[in-house]
Structure 1
Amino acid sequence: MFNLIHQLLNKSIHSLSSCILCGIDRQQHHSLCQDCWQQLPWLKSNVQRQEIDIQVACHYSYPMDRIIQKYKYEQQLQFQRLLAETLIELHLPKVQAIVPMPISAPRLAERGYNQSLVIAKILAKHLNVPVWQPISRSDQHSQKGLTRLERIENIEQQFEICTRSKLRYRRVLMLDDVVTTGSSLYALKQKLEVLGCQKIYAACLACAKA
């Protein structure tokens, strides 16, 4: 009885909470009101980068850009469920595992978490598949001023196979937060192919102009 009352109380408090964007209407969709949820800069389509078809939930424009920035750089983890739910809106393929975009150790120490991994765990639970992290990433350097080929070569050198496990998955979904040129996804895909992955899909929260 106590648990039932507790659940009803939590549900009641949640229903009375204001939308985290407009602060006016009540929450209905993952911390957002109905209007703010519908007015997200939805894309829900595929974009092609580096010959990879990438499923993208939204355009990287307001307010999605600010939500991602706050989540990624300001440790505002309350946005993780909202961001994961935008991916759940996509028609994701059936896969055996999700591979979040790895980040370097210095970047991890700076932020305190891998933003793609946090969301991957939520999505993996929804899809009932494991999160797989067989690739590590060395120090990440600025891509500013590099040509397309230099950018690809620079990023490819950052990724290394780190798993000693014989566990392998043939169908995987790469997950990243924002795709611009697609160079990181391309480099990750190359390493996954070395590990024997045969069907490699990609999904991102948002797409920015390359």
Structure 2
Amino acid sequence: MLSFIPPLLHKAMQRLSPCVLCGIDHQRHHSLCTDCWQQLPWLKQNIQRQEMQIQVACHYAYPMDRIIQKFKYEQQLHFQSVLVGSLIDLKLPKIQAIVPMPISSQRLAERGYNQSLVLAKILAKQLNIPVWQPVARLAQHSQKGLSRIERLDQIEQQFVIATKTRVRYRTVLMLDDVVTTGSSLHALKQKLEQLGCQKIYAACITSAEI
């Protein structure tokens, strides 16, 4: 069994470790050196999608796009620190729970984990609040050849309320890694409203161009 490492010692050990991006300078900001941290494609603004205000940390551009791809598809979980760190800089609203974007069992089998859930657990621990997963996602099918309305309808049908949902929260934060059209967040929000949520916020690490 690994022995417990005191927080101060752990922080000191991190500062002696190389930046996970450039590998040259020492870590200073959430596993990155100062230069790499400052050169991230910061946005730190609210954007509007599907009549929702979404807090976004960065543009979906280099190197954040590559970081997310490696974290999401190549199981390079050491990037989780910089991803969560970018969210902390957003000055998130006061919430009771974090709701990570659900993925289908098919996607879960392909990737081995839900990337949004991994990040939500770390962020929730830092904020000292729970992770809440009251909504499940059914199999995601190809949307090729569908109209915009048909695509939105298909996405909405993918989200279902979990059968064993007893705990309820009124003020929650939906969390996802990338937002494009905002359709998935909108569909998730509709289900949360059905569960009685009164204040539903949304935050994403990056925003991609529509």
TM-score range, shorter chain: over 0.9
- Distance in 1, Cα, partners of 2:26 & 2:61: 23
What is the CA-CA distance between 1:20 and the residue it aligns to? 1.7
Q: Which position in structure 2 is the counterpart of 1:195?
A: 195
Paired residues for 1:71-150 under 5 Å: 71-150=71-150
Q: Secondary structure at the match of 1:157?
A: helix
Q: Structure 1 residues 24-33 or 189-198, which shifts more?
A: 24-33
- Distance in 2, Cα, partners of 1:89 & 1:9: 24
Q: Which position in structure 1 is the counterpart of 2:173?
A: 173
* Aligned CA distance change for structure 1 residues 18 and 134 (closer, same or farther; 3 Å): same
* Mapped contact 2:99–2:172 kept (Cα < 8 A): yes
What is the CA-CA distance between 1:142 and the residue it aligns to? 2.5
Deviations 1:12-64 (A, max 9, x none): 54323221212221111122110110110000000111001000000000000
* Mapped contact 2:96–2:169 kept (Cα < 8 A): yes
Q: Secondary structure at the match of 2:141?
A: coil
* Mapped contact 2:20–2:79 kept (Cα < 8 A): no
What is the CA-CA distance between 1:141 and the residue it aligns to? 1.6
Moved over 6 A (4+): 3-9
- Distance in 1, Cα, partners of 2:132 & 2:6: 35
Q: Structure 1 residues 50-59 or 146-155, which shifts more?
A: 146-155
* Mapped contact 2:103–2:114 kept (Cα < 8 A): yes
How many residue pairs get aligned? The number is: 208
Q: Which position in structure 2 is the counterpart of 1:157?
A: 157
Unmatched segments (≥5 aa) in structure 2: none
Q: Which position in structure 1 is the counterpart of 2:56?
A: 56
* Aligned CA distance change for structure 1 residues 39 and 198 (closer, same or farther; 3 Å): same
Provide the TM-score with structure 2 as the length reference: 0.93
- Distance in 1, Cα, partners of 2:91 & 2:12: 31
* Aligned CA distance change for structure 1 residues 4 and 161 (closer, same or farther; 3 Å): closer
Q: What residue identity is the alignment partner of 2:154?
A: N
Q: Secondary structure at the match of 2:205?
A: strand
- Distance in 1, Cα, partners of 2:133 & 2:185: 14
Q: Structure 1 residues 119-128 or 137-146, which shifts more?
A: 137-146
CA RMSD across the alignment? 1.9
* Aligned CA distance change for structure 1 residues 174 and 24 (closer, same or farther; 3 Å): same
Q: Secondary structure at the match of 1:19?
A: coil
Q: Structure 1 residues 189-198 or 21-30, which shifts more?
A: 21-30
